Amino acid sequence: MRLKFSPRLISAVIVALIVVFIGHQNWGQASVSGQTIATFLVVGIALGGVYAISAAGLVVTYATTGIFNFAQAAIGCFLAFCYWQLTIKWGVPVLLAIAIVLLLIAPAIGITLDRVIMRRLRDAALVVQLMVTVGLMLTFMGITLTIWTPKSPRSVPHFFEGTKGVQIGDVIATWHRIITVAIALLVAVALRFLLYRTRLGISMRAVVDSRNLAGLTGAKSSVISGASWSLGCMTAGLAGILIAPETGLVVENLALVIVVAAAAAAIAQLKSLPMVFIGGLIIGLTEGFTSVFLNFGTDWNYAPQAIPCVILFIALLFLPQARLETGKVRLTKRTERLTRPWEAALGGAVMIVLVGAWANGWIPWISGTTFGQRSAVWLGRGVGFMIVGLIMLSLVPLIGWAGQVSFANYAIAGVGAVLFSHWGGPSGNPLGIVAVMAVCAPLGLLIALPALRLKGLYLALATLAFAEFTDKVIVRHPKMISPTATGVLFKPMDIFGIHISSDAADRKAFVIFLAITFALLFFMLELMRRSRWARRWIAMSDSPAASATIGINLTTTKMAVFMLSGAMAGFAGCMLGLSQGALRVDSFPMFIGLPLVLLLAVQGVRYPVAAFMGLIGLASFPALSEVLGNPTWLTQVSLIGPGIAAIAMAYRPEGAVFYSGRDLAGLLPWRADAREEKALLDQRTRDQDIGRDEINDLGLTRSFTREKVAQLDRVLSIADAVDEHPMVTGVSR
């Protein structure tokens, strides 16, 4: 038999090995008996029910609006806190509180989101769509943390807490769990009824198929999208309220449900509602199984939390290959010319001078603050910002050019830091950095392997799962970061005559060293943008189908960019370790990787200079805070910062660098071309907006007749069977 190179096979083998290894390491002593099996079923089914509710909302919004809502679980978390406030704090009766949360607050959030943001995203690039919802997710987490500061632990009681529940054999199923399962079933039936039997639901399904078709039903597209966002928020809230008693009312835990929901949604291929419930059950049962039969020792303390990630990976392996779709090209009427090499060199030099001048204290600042003056604390922060900038830089070719949205680069940097603490770090050997980069490059690729043949959204999900897996399994293993080890992890290092380490005395040199490295990498990327590699990546991102028909092998082309990006992230990771001097097991949570991508995307993913602007933006919050005397309102503003960024992106999809760059160039007397471009673009945008309004108006006057419903149903039942159709189908292939 001829063994063919298959990314799918390789990833399948790797995932299987990891699962078997961890399972074997931790096989518990629980005997397999009727009792243990019943326990695991009761726990598993109840968990599965909650997950399915959340995932069902995710699928409904995705199928009807085309937007995957990363904020789903965070909104659920916010709503669960609202519920807590109403019932526990204000003593509102439970049923009334549930009604207020689910029928009042949730739809209000849904409709607002739809009005203000989501409607603008219909035709936006995938990265913009994703980053906007990621921004919302961080905002909802931030708002919740601000209103309900996590000083005292809160808990939501189970329904009918104190009652005994139902005895099934030797096992007791609590009323809360029984109610959960009942509600899950109810939600399934209700959604099915809504989507297939009501006028609104039929329109919601039609809108996916074609907006003209939706016009036939007489429903305004605004009503439809408002309804689906409300529905998404309601299911999110329901899941939040049901799961909060189990996980505790903790923001991170509740927001993490998004990984689980994403896994269940991936099992359902983001379209089949029945499969969503099966997916939820699979995950719930697996978690129930591990909690009963596996006995995780201290080495794998957090591994159970990574179960949904592993399941997500496995689900990706089973998904059918995405077709190369045609007719989906979005022409973003963007005008720009390539940066010339001398301009890039000048830009790099300016960066070095700026950072160098700041590090030396040459930039005057308001007296009384330590920001402008060199202080060890601020120089240390400066090092941190530069490293974040390096990670953002590593995302430019990957996301900006090749269009591969990845949230894993911070996690890769984390792995890089850990590896460096084993190789080269302790001896201060720069060759260790090379070794780490050589490992991180294929690591970047490994994460992407299962998703290479799928559409872009799945890649984003896979990288999210990997980031979570890294945090919960890899870096927390004592062989990776030992909490008890003594001795030096990172010896000071001399590179090109610059002495860098985490010592306060070396920080200035470190900042300058990083500025030089950053500028060099920036220059390299700008040159690279003019190379055949970047052209090929951009071509692939603009039209995969056309790229394939001119002979581009999409798989190897994607692999190359993942390796480049992984190596750059690995380098940043080494610097991260070196700058901190020590590593903590909780330094690399998944939730840090997200704002990093957002920060870059707001500035403009396509442009290397955006990474620099991003790090300046990041630095500006603490800097401003210090200058203004650390007011608390600023801290709160920084919590909703991601939300502001998200809204900004919905209105300025190309990123700030693009718009301000064009405006600034227009100010230069010799850049008449920039002024013309701006006028042209503004005109086009206006034309487009007018066109959109006209389309929206079309559906208004049509009535909804029986024949039209019949016609729609005919079309829809044909469409149901069609390959890759993002429809909320009753049957899955």
3-class secondary structure for 4-35? CCCHHHHHHHHHHHHHHHHHHHCECCCCCCHH
| Per CB under 8 A, 719 contacts other proteins | yes
Q: How many CB atoms lie within 10 A of CB 732?
A: 14
Our CB check for other proteins shows the closer of 491 and 530 to be 530
Site stretch for other proteins (CB under 8 A), options 273-281, 458-466, 694-702, 721-729: 721-729
The terminus-to-terminus CA distance of the chain in angstroms comes to 29
Strand residues in 592-650 grouped as ranges (E): none
Question: How near is the Cβ of 660 to other proteins at its closest, in Å?
Answer: 19
Are the C-beta atoms of residues 400 and 393 closer than 8 Å to each other?
A: no
Site for other proteins in 602-641 (CB under 8 A): 606
Our CB check for other proteins shows the closer of 339 and 470 to be 339
Q: How many CB atoms lie within 10 A of CB 352?
A: 17
Residue 231's Cα: distance from chain center in Å? 21
Site stretch for other proteins (CB under 8 A), options 333-341, 457-465, 490-498, 698-706: 333-341
Judged by CB under 8 A, the residue of 364, 368, 487, 551 near other proteins is 551
Give the x/- contact pattern for other proteins in 554-593, rule: CB under 8 A: x---------------------------------------
Place of tokens 């294929």: 442
Site stretch for other proteins (CB under 8 A), options 295-303, 336-344, 352-360, 408-416: 336-344
Element (H, E) at 56: helix 34-65
Question: How near is the Cβ of 400 to other proteins at its closest, in Å?
Answer: 10
> How many residues lie near other proteins (CB under 8 A)?
39
Question: How near is the Cβ of 667 to other proteins at its closest, in Å?
Answer: 22
Size (the chain), residues: 733
| Per CB under 8 A, 721 contacts other proteins | yes
Site stretch for other proteins (CB under 8 A), options 312-320, 321-329, 381-389, 417-425: 321-329
Q: How many CB atoms lie within 10 A of CB 588?
A: 26
Site stretch for other proteins (CB under 8 A), options 280-288, 353-361, 442-450, 529-537: 529-537
Site stretch for other proteins (CB under 8 A), options 84-92, 243-251, 485-493, 532-540: 532-540
Our CB check for other proteins shows the closer of 551 and 629 to be 551
Are the C-beta atoms of residues 412 and 443 closer than 8 Å to each other?
A: yes
User: Quick one: tokens of 154?
Assistant: 């809160």
CA pair distance 620, 641, nearest whole angstrom: 12
Site for other proteins in 47-86 (CB under 8 A): none
Are the C-beta atoms of residues 117 and 646 closer than 8 Å to each other?
A: yes
Residue 91's Cα: distance from chain center in Å? 36
* Region for 505 from its dihedrals, namely left if φ exceeds 0, alpha if ψ lies in -120 to 50, beta otherwise: alpha
Our CB check for other proteins shows the closer of 299 and 336 to be 336
Site stretch for other proteins (CB under 8 A), options 423-431, 498-506, 536-544, 608-616: 536-544
Residue 456's Cα: distance from chain center in Å? 12
Our CB check for other proteins shows the closer of 372 and 608 to be 608
| Per CB under 8 A, 334 contacts other proteins | yes
Q: How far is CA 109 from CA 106, 144, 204, 234, in A?
A: 5, 14, 19, 9
DSSP track, 330-358: --------PPPHHHHHHHHHHHHHHHHHH
Our CB check for other proteins shows the closer of 88 and 546 to be 546
| Per CB under 8 A, 539 contacts other proteins | yes
Give the x/- contact pattern for other proteins in 662-701, rule: CB under 8 A: ------------------x---------------------
CA pair distance 133, 81, nearest whole angstrom: 20
Place of tokens 């798989």: 555
Question: How near is the Cβ of 323 to other proteins at its closest, in Å?
Answer: 7
| Side-chain half-sphere exposure of 386, counting CA atoms within 13 A | 33
Judged by CB under 8 A, the residue of 85, 222, 335, 696 near other proteins is 335
Applying CB under 8 A, the residues found at the interface with other proteins are: 323-324, 326-327, 329-338, 532, 535-536, 538-539, 542-543, 545-554, 606, 680, 718-723
